[in-house]
Structure 1
Amino acid sequence: MSELSPQDDYEKRLQRFLVLVHGQEGLIAKLAIFREVVRHYRERGEGLWEISPPLYFFARAMQSDVLLALARILEEKKRSWGNLEKFLDFSAANSGRIVWKNGKFSEAVAFKHKSALAAHSDIIASIRGRRDKVIAHLDRKYFFDPEAAEDDFPLADEAMIALANEIINILHEHEQGVSDSWSFHLAEFYQIGVDNMIRSLEAVARERKQGA
């Protein structure tokens, strides 16, 4: 089996990342659902859970889903072959042999993207720590003191959303560079679906309250 050229290797890696982002159960779908729940929580606060108590568990489940999707893409380089930073390193190292539609790929683009990720280092550290110490393996400390995880690995919803959008934008630039196109996704439909679901539950709760 012949070795892939840097161009083919680059495009093959990129396609796999695009599947992780655009797939039916990819980051964009999960992010769209999570972001809409967060938007409703900002508007209603704890009152959102009063509409239907299971919404609390739905929100937490979506937060975990987004966390795991991000952790998978951002796994430390020494622990993962399919790491986004490793992809950017490969792109920079082979910049002279990677061609975009508008010309040769520049290593400056890879360095720009690495700097963009570095700006999210705090939330990345929290995501990795929460995944390793609390979700995948429950450390003794967090077994006996679950609340300590909130202090050691804080998860600000807006920070997670910003990081996810950064990753999507990075891959968007690479996809557009290679193919001069952008994958279609259904984020808006997921957001509308969540919005309709919450408003329907709210209407049911209101009717029950009026009928009591």
Structure 2
Amino acid sequence: MTMVAIETGTQKIGLVLNCLNPYNKNKMSTENKHCIMGRKIKQKDKAVSAKDFLAFPSPQKLKQMGKQKADNLIQELGNEITDLDKVMQTFLRISSIVTKDDVDTKDSVCECTEKLIEETLKSEHNTGSMLANSILVSMGILKGEDKKYKPPSTLMGPLLVLEHLVKQPFFPKFSREILSMFMSKPHPLLDQSKEARHKLLQTLMAY
């Protein structure tokens, strides 16, 4: 703690600054540069692009993408928005940051994936059966043509987000039927996330 005297005319006013680095009286520490009279000034979060977010997804980066995050993700995909495999890869990357306890992140991810799936389904080539197949392959529940593909180590996030997606009006009924059939079968990845799978199955049966 350091006392600093400030002259105003003929008077001296003593101010106690808690922000000064006690190990360097001439300089403030990095943290203290944004601190005045013991109060920290919150710096504005740096904006994050869709490209940067997809490279290394995190809840914090998702927040920093701003209100247009879903539109920015669609724009980042460009013409690949009609490519189901590319869209599902994006879906997995986004949903991988979701946990059952972080409601805010889940809501934001659901908002983004809603628009992604709805947009890709506008292509007449992306049918209900193709959507379901792409979901199952990307999750590692079905084997795809790419033998080098490595499925995610956990499906907790994707299953939680998928449970939200299957309730949406644009989600094909046939996709729900196919997913319901495979989600009820034993699988190591699904067995690791029993609670999320059970919730998804309940929703699929309700629709």
Fold shared, TM-score > 0.5 on shorter chain: no
User: TM tier, shorter chain?
Assistant: under 0.3
Larger radius of gyration: 2
Larger fraction in strand = 2
Higher relative contact order (CA 8 A, sep 6+): 1
Q: TM-score, normalised by structure 2?
A: 0.23
